[in-house]
Structure 1
Amino acid sequence: MSPNSSATEAPTPPITPEKFTESDFQKGVPRAIPSILELKKALPAHCFQPDLTTSFYYAFKDLALVAGLYIIMLAMELQPYTLLKWAYIPIYWYVSGTLMASIFIVGHDCGHESFSNNSLINDIVGNFMHTIILVPYYPWKLSHRHHHKNTGNIDKDEVFYPVREQHRNKDSELMIPYFGLGIGWIFYMFKGYSPRTINHFNPFNHLFIKHSVNCIISMACLTAWMGLVVIPYGSAYGFSRLAIHYLMPVFGFMCWIVFITFLHHHDENVPWYGDEKWDFVRGQLSSVDRNYGWAHDVLHNIGTHQIHHLFSKVPHYHLEEATKVFRERYPELVRKSDERLIPAFIRIFHMFMDQVWIPDDAQVHSYTLSKKSL
């Protein structure tokens, strides 16, 4: 259980948007919806307040669990039963990779200033948590904020957005099946998502230029981690053990991030808006809530994505409570799916690839389940 013990506040009367139905919302109809201030007033005020003790509890818990799995891996290598040792390896990769995704999400909270109310603490913890899983914290923080400021915007969002025909070319049509999962994350880190390219390892990229010093600090952290820990570990114990102990779990985390990011912003009838039709609330509401089963709590409730996008400063340990209130008061705005995750990912990927190219003048685009994408 979380050590958080905030008291529940008195409920606020629901605010109902006029002349707006669930059907309208699902189809992306540009009708009046509540303002961001109205939505915020409907949620308990304490949900917006991080608690430093609680935040550090989750950070240390995630690190301890990863360390524990690693120690078990070392113990397995010492025992004589080869079959048992090899049976543990894929379990280790999967569970440790999932926990590394949870480490990423703690750093993600730091990037949103929801880990604490102190920016320096956020950046120190964020740099540490992201460095150990090979993520340049500050450049990612900036590109991710850009994503949050433009969620659901065809012309400005950061990744997996529909692409206008004018940007279509042979290179952009090349797509590894299912993004290659973790391979897709690596490409995104170095190249971004075409046609709006970005290199997260270049502190002088146009998106980072005003924050180059902070980006250089994050790059220095990565360089130090690689030079003082990762490379010496490989030199001492061999590349195969480095891959088994560390690189494969990191790749597992990368797979999770592609999986999560794609599923939270795509499904049948989820609208994307051209810049002329887009506004902040409508764009954030185009996010999709999903439940990750056994991993839902492990991944710090990141599946409660609508509230996270509407209010990114809500700490992860308050997302479930805030989501419950939001769903009770605005049922017509809720967008969630209980579909099994892997079938959903396969289905939506094919639908995405079938319909990702859109007319240059499109102002609202929703994916539909065509025969070709079945």
Structure 2
Amino acid sequence: MTSAPEMTADKPQMKISEWKKIVAPFQVPSVPRAVWQLVNTFVPMVLLWWAMYESLAVSYWLTLALAAVTGLLVVRVFIFFHDCGHGSFFKSNRANSIVGFICGMVTFTPYAHWSWQHAVHHQTSGDLSRRGDGDIWTMTVKEYQEASPTRRMFYRIIRNPFTLFIVGPLVLFLLYQRIPSPRAKAKDRASVMYMNVAVVLMVVAMSWLFGFKNYVMMQLPVTMFAGMAGIWMFYVQHQYEDVYWEHGKEWDYTTAALEGSSFYKLPKILQWFTGNIGYHHVHHLSSRVPNYYLERCHNSHPMFHSVKPLTILESLKCINLRLWDESDRRLISFKEYRQRYAQKTPVAAAAAEEVDPADLPAPSEAGPGLS
């Protein structure tokens, strides 16, 4: 069983006014800590880029190995970018915006636009009535049963691990993040254009420094490795068996944070590379706690200790989870769906049915985001 957050059944959920007092001491940004994180991440990243360039003359396998480590550093940079978007990395909004934009260039992600989408994710995570922005497309069993063969096929393609973790990284960061959402405000849409220009200038500068072919041979695997790791982290944060989902009025913010966000227990080295974001239950409870205080906040109160950790081994089982079963209140695999529900569903003549464009999901349904 891939259960993660599991609160004690006999203890009532803490009120917002109560937990706000608990997290308040950890919501004060530390400039020295933030600056040190930037230094201990960007300095080795620059050195690794130079090492990758030199390794091209030795062995491309060595280049790929170095790209994997560089990709992990990019994940760490994304956490800084993410904290800046929440206004938690620095005290100054201006500093957050400047550093956030620079980190956005490194991660190929528009700062203001992504921050808006991610804020929506925090406001709606675990709410079945408000899915579609900044999350991974998740259908309920009932929705899947009622879907047309075309929509089912598209859903299966999107939820396939090959699509999510192999195709997804390059599509998400090189293409999807280049296009603004029609629902975004004008300033957020403009931020996509600004970032696109900045990315082009960065590519030109890096191509001038290393040569275009050499740059592409380094940048693509770095983006691939970073994207795979980042999407995986986002996936296991909200896609485990006993995750929390509720409809509209039944949805509760505190419960969604503590039961709908995993406590991903990682080895210290991976915890460092991922900027402590494995303490995702703490982050969703209060996004104003910067990454460098998440572990301290978790250790500070018994409220967080009742959240069951998700181990790496347990998280691997999450790969097969596809549908939210409202009757059992858990995510299930397609295999389990077939065993439990397939015979109750009328057989559809998928091969004979024409593809109706109306059956295809909106881009926001298919596009995964990072937390």
What interval of TM-score do these two structures reach, taking the shorter chain for normalisation? 0.7 to 0.9
Q: 1:57 maps to which residue?
A: 36
Q: 2:287 maps to which residue?
A: 312
SS of equivalent residue, structure 2 residue 70: helix
Q: 1:15 maps to which residue?
A: none
Residue 97 of structure 1 pairs with residue 84 of structure 2: no
Residue 335 of structure 1 pairs with residue 335 of structure 2: no
Q: 1:124 to 1:106 in 2, by over 3 A?
A: same
Which one of 298, 308, 315 corresponds to residue 323 of structure 1? 298
Which one of 93, 99, 103 corresponds to residue 129 of structure 1? 103
SS of equivalent residue, structure 1 residue 302: coil
Q: Specify every segment of 5 or more residues in structure 2 that has no aligned partner in the other structure, as ranges.
A: 340-371
Identity %: 20
Which one of 159, 176, 182 corresponds to residue 205 of structure 1? 182
Q: 1:39 maps to which residue?
A: 19
Q: 1:183 maps to which residue?
A: 167
Q: 2:138 maps to which residue?
A: 162
Q: 1:112 and 1:335 mapped to 2: Cα distance?
A: 26
Q: CA deviation at 1:218?
A: 4.5
Q: CA deviation at 1:257?
A: 1.5
Structure with bigger helix share is 2
Q: 1:262 to 1:178 in 2, by over 3 A?
A: farther
Q: CA deviation at 1:122?
A: 1.0
Q: 1:330 and 1:319 mapped to 2: Cα distance?
A: 11
Q: 2:65 and 2:279 mapped to 1: Cα distance?
A: 26
Q: Give the aligned residue type for 2:187.
A: V
1:277, 1:363 within 8 Å by CA — same for their partners in 2? no
Q: Give the aligned residue type for 1:184.
A: G
Q: 1:274 maps to which residue?
A: 247
1:182, 1:258 within 8 Å by CA — same for their partners in 2? no
Q: 1:235 to 1:298 in 2, by over 3 A?
A: closer
Q: Deviations over 1:134-153 (max 9, x none)?
A: 11111111111111111111
Q: Give the aligned residue type for 1:143.
A: Q
Which one of 76, 86, 106 corresponds to residue 112 of structure 1? 86
Q: CA deviation at 1:247?
A: 2.1
Q: CA deviation at 1:367?
A: 1.9
Q: Deviations over 1:225-245 (max 9, x none)?
A: 31x231464477555412222
Residue 172 of structure 1 pairs with residue 155 of structure 2: yes
Structure with the bigger RCO (C-alpha within 8 Å, sep 6+) is 2
**What TM-score do the two structures reach when normalised by structure 1?**
0.76
Q: Deviations over 1:250-282 (max 9, x none)?
A: 221111111000111122222211223111111
Q: Give the aligned residue type for 2:117.
A: S
Superposed CA RMSD: 3.2
Q: CA deviation at 1:214?
A: 4.5
Q: Give the aligned residue type for 2:228.
A: C
Q: Specify every segment of 5 or more residues in structure 1 that has no aligned partner in the other structure, as ranges.
A: 1-22, 192-198
Q: Give the aligned residue type for 2:40.
A: K
Residue 142 of structure 1 pairs with residue 120 of structure 2: no
Q: Give the aligned residue type for 2:182.
A: N
Q: CA deviation at 1:185?
A: 4.3
**What TM-score do the two structures reach when normalised by structure 2?**
0.77
SS of equivalent residue, structure 1 residue 101: helix
Q: CA deviation at 1:217?
A: 3.5
Q: CA deviation at 1:41?
A: 2.0
Which one of 25, 46, 50 corresponds to residue 67 of structure 1? 46
